[in-house]
Amino acid sequence: MSSHISFFKSVENYVDKAAAFTDIPKGLVEQIKACNLVLQIRFPIRVGNDYQVIEAYRVQHSHHRLPTKGGIRYAESVDQDEVMALAALMTYKCALVDVPFGGAKGGIKINPANYTTEQLQNITRRYTAELVKKNFIGPGIDVPAPDYGTGPREMAWILDTYQALRHGEVDSIACVTGKPVTQNGIRGRAEATGRGVFYGLRECVSHAEDMKKLGLEKGIAGKTMVVQGLGNVGSNTAIISQQEGDVKIVGVSEREGSIHDPNGIDIEKLLAFRKETGSIIGYPGSKHIGDARAALELPCDILVPAALENQITTENAGKIQAKIIAEAANGPVTADADPILQKKGVLILPDFYINAGGVTVSYFEWLKNLSHHRFGRLENRFQHNAFGRILDKVVEFTGKSVSDRDRELLTRGGTEIELVNSGLEDTMITAYQQIRETFKQHPGIPDVRTAAFVCSMKKISSDYISMGIFP
């Protein structure tokens, strides 16, 4: 860690800074900040002829709403402080986008690349069994999801283990989200975080007066972007920004290094190149400019750090040339680098807003699982028939005809992916507007991050107050 203060402490500091712009009583601010439950686990797994002790955590940061919600990460960086900080960010994230959950996070301190699929399965199942034993998982208790180093495969193992231990529980499929679509998952969850980053960015750059302050034109089309990390979040952000927003990706970095091409890099082709060669270095037309952090310093309109925390520190903050930073990863800018960037006039879209798309679609998945039916199953046919009758009348009254293709487009109900994406789009736009209003209403608020924390804290505190704990 290049930052000298702990990650959890730095989240607390942001919250304290925001609290000054609210009238939330001091004791309630302390309660909002506190981690409600921390589970520390050690269990053995067999590797060859020996054993290894696996270090794992699950933290439920806030019980003001239940269940608690948040991903599980597999990374060597995992420790209690990191998981506590990430769980806290989940609390503020869920509140900000009106996802009615408390925040949680889990972590296993491993590099998944060092284990076989079978060993990873053993680790995941054992971890799940420990959570079940401690009553730390369940549709109404705490609902994990993917995070760095995990994906639908791990979620399917978690579900299967849970169901084996909780046989007959009617809502068991809602005990985890981010599952494969064929295993009670929801379409659109895999790309939801990246898609949410795109919607948030598009909304942000649509305000001409805000863009003017940055010396930018309004509108997403033609903006230049640099992406750090081509994992799930980074690659989907880049692909969707390129395809749906006409954004030009001028720089990319991965663990092997950074590449630059001011003429634009086709991300799908780059991903295919990396799959084939094992590296982004040498991609046709691009220049190799240095290590994994080099791309962060490239000139661009939008910088998207989508890897891990602590990427922009006091060492490189002064060299950042981007006008907007979208924190697709959690905590990519350290607390001491943040003021350096603010002073330079960089607009930072904070992690707990801009990457909230994942948990938003997890919420839709959870709702789908609890309802035990697919969205639209009851009403789609009914709507189709009703729209058809209206269209028939229009045809009758106007004497004009409608082509089969137009009839199909005008009468059909939304598919699951369309409903998910529209719910996600609305969520990201609404939350941005709330943050922007708060920012405008309190002239003293220094930056968007603080404004976003103010929005979240107001919602969390009113939940506590309506519980009657803090009259």
CA distances from 95 to 61, 141, 353, 390, 460 (A): 13, 17, 10, 40, 7
- In the complex, which residue's CB is closest to ligand GLU? 71
Measured from the CB of residue 362, what is the shortest distance to ligand GLU in angstroms?
3
The sheet that has 287-290: what strands, in order across it? Answer: 287-290, 257-260, 248-254, 224-228, 302-305, 324-326, 347-349
Q: Which amino acid is at 287?
A: K
CA atoms in the 13 A half-sphere facing the CB of 245 = 31
**Is the distance from CB of 340 to CB of 270 less than 8 angstroms?**
no
**Is the distance from CB of 253 to CB of 293 less than 8 angstroms?**
yes
In the beta sheet, which residues pair with residue 394?
A: none
d(CA 455, CA 451): 6
Question: Which residue's entry shows tokens 């239940």?
Answer: 66
Q: Which two tokens mark 411?
A: 């009468």
CA atoms in the 13 A half-sphere facing the CB of 86 = 28
Can you give the length of the chain in residues? Answer: 471
In the complex with ligand GLU, the residue whose CB is nearer, 186 or 240, is 186
d(CA 150, CA 358): 13
Phi, psi (5° rounding) for residue 311? -95, -35
In the complex with ligand GLU, the residue whose CB is nearer, 41 or 190, is 190
Interface with ligand GLU (CB under 6 A): 69-71, 145, 147, 177-178, 330, 355, 358-359, 362
Measured from the CB of residue 470, what is the shortest distance to ligand GLU in angstroms?
27
Which H/E stretch holds residue 318? Answer: none
Measured from the CB of residue 365, what is the shortest distance to ligand GLU in angstroms?
8
In the complex with ligand GLU, the residue whose CB is nearer, 147 or 254, is 147
The sheet that has 102-108: what strands, in order across it? Answer: 37-47, 50-60, 102-108, 68-74, 142-146
**What is the DSSP code string of 321-389?**
--SEEE--SSS-B-TTTHHHHHHTTPEEE-HHHHTTHHHHHHHHHHHHHHHTS-TTTTTHHHHHHHHHH
Measured from the CB of residue 70, what is the shortest distance to ligand GLU in angstroms?
5
In the complex with ligand GLU, the residue whose CB is nearer, 310 or 355, is 355
Catalytic site residue from 33, 105, 109, 368: 105
Q: Is 269 a catalytic residue?
A: no
In the complex with ligand GLU, the residue whose CB is nearer, 70 or 257, is 70
Measured from the CB of residue 99, what is the shortest distance to ligand GLU in angstroms?
9
In the complex with ligand GLU, the residue whose CB is nearer, 185 or 257, is 185
Q: Which two tokens mark 359?
A: 């948990």
Measured from the CB of residue 143, what is the shortest distance to ligand GLU in angstroms?
7
Task: Sort strands 257-260 and 287-290 into parallel, antiparallel or unpaired.
Answer: antiparallel
In the complex with ligand GLU, the residue whose CB is nearer, 92 or 283, is 92
Measured from the CB of residue 288, what is the shortest distance to ligand GLU in angstroms?
31
The span from the first CA to the last CA of the chain, in angstroms, equals 41
In the complex with ligand GLU, the residue whose CB is nearer, 21 or 162, is 162
Measured from the CB of residue 305, what is the shortest distance to ligand GLU in angstroms?
14
State the catalytic residues. Answer: 105
